[in-house]
Chains A and B, each alone.
Chain A
Amino acid sequence: MQVKNRHIVGWLEAAPLAVVLLGFLIAPIVMIVIVSFWGATEFSIYPAFQFDNYEFLFGSPVTYRVFGATLKYAFITWALTLAIGFTVAYFLAFHVRSLTMQIALFLVCTIPFWTSNIIRMISWIPFLGRNGIANQTLISWGVIDEPLEWLLYSDFSVILAFVHLYTLFMVVPIFNTMMRIDKSLLEAARDNGASGFQTLVHVIIPLTKPGIMIGTIFVVTLVMGDFITVRFMSGSQRANVGRLISNDIGLLQYPSAAATAVVLLCTVLIVIAILLRFVNIRKEL
């Protein structure tokens, strides 16, 4: 009786969460899958069961190029955020000595997460523009004669914005795992004659792996699902899958957008399934 009771109460308590996820996550996904088989005229969409949308999608060279670009953005951003995020977390966890200071500096790193992404993107314009701070500074230093054109509205600015927006998704989980490393392990390594670098490679990095994996999942999925950063920071000159979808939506071609969305979702889920092989999220919180 007691056991049965536990399951019922558990479900009652989880019900609000389950209802929201059912209505606004599961149902939309199902809807997208259904609509991806529908047809569309210029003004409306109609129910059907046809593979036209997928045929068009897989038959077009643009699709492969855009998926390639999306994976490229994800990979470069991942590498940069990991390098920066790991270094920052390492400094906070092992070089800052007082807990108060650690918390304060950690908050400094996380506060931007609670502000607007769009404003943070806009705020790069005065830096990167043709007459922006970067170009003015470089010219006044004599490094360049002509303003660099590729600073804004290019792959460079897109990736810069991604790194700016998402590095803290690496810092937080990595810092979290690092704080749980037993300091006596580090002492043991040193007592046995390991150099600082050896301790880092053979003790800290292996123990930090779960945090790295969680950060990786965040960054990769955020970049792969993005459409707004690429659009804004490239001045609509670059494309990724998200933009492909949002362009179709803009043209009211919902079935085509839905088909692309299904393929994107599958890609993201496959990537995550691979990453989850390396970590048990629930254990790491």
Chain B
Amino acid sequence: MERRPLSFYVLAVFFGLFVLFLYGPILTIGILSFQGPQGGLTFPMNGVSLHWFRDLFQEQAVGDIWGAFRRSFALGLMVMLTTVVVSVMAGLAFRKRFWGSGLVFYAAITSLVIPSILISLGVGLIFNQLGFKVHWATSGFGSQLTWTLPFGLLIMFAVFNRFDKSYEEAARDQGATAWQTLRYVVLPIIAPSLIGVALFGFTLSYDEFARTLLTAGSYNTLPLEIFGMTTNVTTPVIYALGTLTTAFSFAIIAAFLLGVWIMGKRRARLGSDAGKGV
């Protein structure tokens, strides 16, 4: 193998520092959340304890954390399912280059780049003027979709740009209906990417803040609850909560990535070697 140039080592150090920059702060609050009962918001550690985690479980101490978590989790699942289904359908539609597809595409891009507070404000105003109550499962749900769907759509574009059409043609030649082709050929091939779309759908919803702010109503989602805490909680309990919810996010991400990996392995094992030659 070729010797590595000096630039490799310089860039590797740069990359290392970047990763430290990305993860350093979150590791710090991870450590600080184990502060002793007398400990403050920064180092030095004043003993080591689970005091602040215990505080989280006493409901009166910090508001309705667990209710907020349940709502965020439920909303995340709703947004995830909707994002996957709607993105796949839209992805299939865009392959047909239907009349007006450019318009829908630009609307989706607008949805991605529009300042989030406009969605929050606009949806809030509409519900207000129509006399509906804003609720996380209605207005909050719709507002979050404006953030997750464009990502899902972009992933579907990337997937279908690389999709080999001859699989579909083969299915059709053998007499499969349009639905059979979709169900038994297209969907299984794009399945790993759908896990990716689901990951975006769930995590982006679970952490969404700006678009949910004015559209969640009287029951907060977890990010809103956490933001509320930043203004009036001055103890490491907020680090404990941050650590827990980040650990939860990491677990979710790991589960999704593991899913993709297992699917890939399974595919490699069960795949036919037809056409690969002898």
A positions within 8 Å CB-CB of B: 6-7, 9-18, 20-21, 23-29, 31-32, 35, 84, 87-88, 90-92, 95, 97, 105, 107-109, 111-112, 114-120, 122-127, 129, 131-133, 136, 164, 167, 196, 217-218, 221, 224-228, 232, 242, 245-246, 249, 254, 257-258, 261, 264-265, 268-269, 272, 281-282, 285
Contacts and interface: CB of A to CB of B under 8 A. Distances in A.
B177 interface: no
A10 B101 contact: yes
Contacts of B252: 114
Contacts of A91: 11-12, 14-15
B81 interface: no
Contact of A108 (B19, B93, B161, B245): B19
A25 B107 contact: yes
Given A16-B85, A126-B41, A164-B21, A228 B209 contact: yes
Nearest to B94: A14
Contacts of A132: 42
B191 to A, nearest CB: 18
Contacts, number: 255
Nearest to B252: A114
Contact of B153 (A13, A17, A25): A17
Nearest to A85: B18
B42 A125 contact: yes
B242 A119 contact: yes
A88 B15 contact: yes
Contact of A25 (B5, B11, B26, B146): B146
B249 to A, nearest CB: 4
B48 interface: no
B73 interface: no
A71 B227 CA distance: 26
Interface stretch (B54-62, B111-119, B164-172, B266-274): B111-119
A21 B98 contact: no
B78 interface: no
A7 B12 CA distance: 51
Interface string B246-260: 100110110001000
A88 B17 CA distance: 10
B46 interface: no
The 7 A-B residue pairs whose C-beta atoms are closest, nearest first, are: A28-B122, A225-B115, A10-B98, A13-B93, A123-B25, A14-B93, A114-B203
A218 B108 CA distance: 14
B125 A116 contact: no
A116 B209 CA distance: 9
Given A16-B86, A88-B14, A28 B121 contact: yes
B96 A28 contact: no
A279 to B, nearest CB: 12
A11 B100 contact: yes
A28 B129 CA distance: 12
B30 to A, nearest CB: 9
Nearest to A87: B14
A129 B234 CA distance: 13
A99 to B, nearest CB: 13
Contacts of B220: none
13 contacts: A7-B99, A11-B93, A17-B149, A24-B123, A116-B207, A119-B226, A119-B242, A124-B25, A125-B42, A133-B42, A249-B117, A249-B214, A282-B157
B8 interface: yes
Interface in B228-264: 230, 238-239, 242, 245-246, 249-250, 252-253, 257
B135 to A, nearest CB: 14
Contact of B143 (A24, A90, A167): A24
B126 interface: yes
Contacts of A269: 110
A26 B41 contact: no
B242 A32 contact: no
A21 B111 contact: yes
A132 B253 CA distance: 31
Given A11-B100, A246-B117, A20 B242 contact: no
Contacts of B214: 249
Of A17, A115, A228, the most chain B CB neighbours within 10 A belong to A17
Nearest to A108: B19
B176 interface: no
A202 B6 CA distance: 21
